Amino acid sequence: MRSLMIIIDGLGDDPIPAWNGQTPFDRARHPYLDFLAGRGTLAHFCICGNDLQPESLSCILRLLGIPKKFHPAHRAYLELLAQGRDISEYEMVLRCNIVSIDEEGRLVSFNGMGLTPAEKKEIAAKHNHILQEIEFLHLSDYRNLLLLPYDPKVLASSTAAPHESMGLKVESLLAELQASCLELRLFLKESARILQPYARQGLHYALYPWGPSARTTLPSFARLNGQQGALVGKAEIVQGIGKALQMQVPALPHATGDTDTDLAEKLQVTLQMLQQYPFVVTHFNGADEASHRHDYEGKAAFIEKIDREFVGPLLTVWTEPLKILVCGDHVTSSVTGRHTNGPVPVIATATQSGAKISLHDYQELLNFSVKAGTENG
């Protein structure tokens, strides 16, 4: 029987005071997910447990059955793989956000709030060729990468994730990283000059490099789990995970990695992958992005949209036996805007069975969905 894993990134949430303690998943209307839960199992448990950080890289790798010993410390290298690029052992790569800061230099947003998409592309173009030693690679929206020569001091530096650091001064947050590398200091100094004209209404803008990563290798998904797989997603980290695991990663030209993504395209590509591979993952990133913006209403609306425009049509079109798992990877709080390691909703069913499925932890989740030849229920 083929398997489909639907990962709604950041699906878990904190109780929303304005909704009398309901979460966006509680609040949302999702009759097709309810149908799956009624025929199978609805559980709530923590994917990251006590041994993983609550972030997408480690949690998605766990959902795919990748042992912790193989998990990279940071994700920049995998995001580079998503672009069809690679580096040698003599190079390294950092994530680099365009961020918004206030008059005092405190972090206001991790995603360049106040800038238009066209301005973000314009800013990215202006950062090409600042220094010969540093390559600036624009990914999407506020997301970029910096490629530079391998430096163990940079790799060992500690830089907090910007989305976890609201209200703190960027100068202090980046102090250790800047102290470790003269080229980065010079690059960021020139960047500040480039970004100064974009200031408006009390907001200023800066580049925020973080999460340094060297070249790394992951085992293949097929070797670990005994079957070939495909991964359908737009977020750079998800595409990079798929490529590193030697899974099929189809193109999604109309997807965005946010709540405005093209769900019809994702459905079509998912159905195509299910015809070719015994195991398929489809990842939706918009719920996580909405939570980081404290937009709990937008998160609930996106969950409803997935249910209406993806899950419902999938159940109508796909008529062969199918194991379906729907889950989050971690909690993303719409209250704080941060990731936490709380429980997330998990739905598991086999479409033509209706048998109850034992789901109490992520290991049973793997046995049901990922491992070839395993039947549960």
pLDDT band at 376 (very low <50, low <70, confident <90, very high): very low
Closest by CA position to 9, among listed 349, 312, 236, 165: 236
Per-residue pLDDT tens for 332-342? Answer: 999 999 999 99
User: What's the CA gap between 371 and 224, in Å, rounded?
Assistant: 9
pLDDT of residue 24: 98
User: What's the CA gap between 269 and 13, in Å, rounded?
Assistant: 29
CB neighbourhood size of 147 (10 A):
17
Per-residue pLDDT tens for 242-290? Answer: 999 999 999 999 999 999 999 999 999 999 999 999 999 999 999 999 9
> What's the rounded mean pLDDT across residues 115-120?
95
Place of tokens 């390294």: 92
User: What's the CA gap between 96 and 170, in Å, rounded?
Assistant: 13
Per-residue pLDDT for 375 more than 50? no
Per-residue pLDDT tens for 205-224? Answer: 999 999 999 999 999 999 99
> Distance of CA 353 to CAs 286, 304, 322, 325, Å?
31, 25, 9, 14
Domains and CATH numbers, the chain: 2-72+218-369 (3.40.720.10), 81-214 (no CATH)
pLDDT of residue 358: 82
Prediction pTM value: 0.90
User: What's the start-to-end Cα distance of the chain, in Å?
Assistant: 13
> What's the rounded mean pLDDT across residues 182-189?
96
**Which residues does 198 contact at the CB level (< 8 Å), separation at least 6?**
115, 119, 123, 204, 205
Per-residue pLDDT for 377 more than 70? no
> Distance of CA 23 to CAs 10, 264, 300, 304, 367, Å?
12, 26, 8, 13, 28
Q: Contact at 8 Å (CB) between 16 and 334?
A: yes
Parallel/antiparallel/unpaired status of strands 322-327 and 2-8: parallel
pLDDT of residue 317: 97
Distance of alpha carbon 123 from the chain centroid: 23
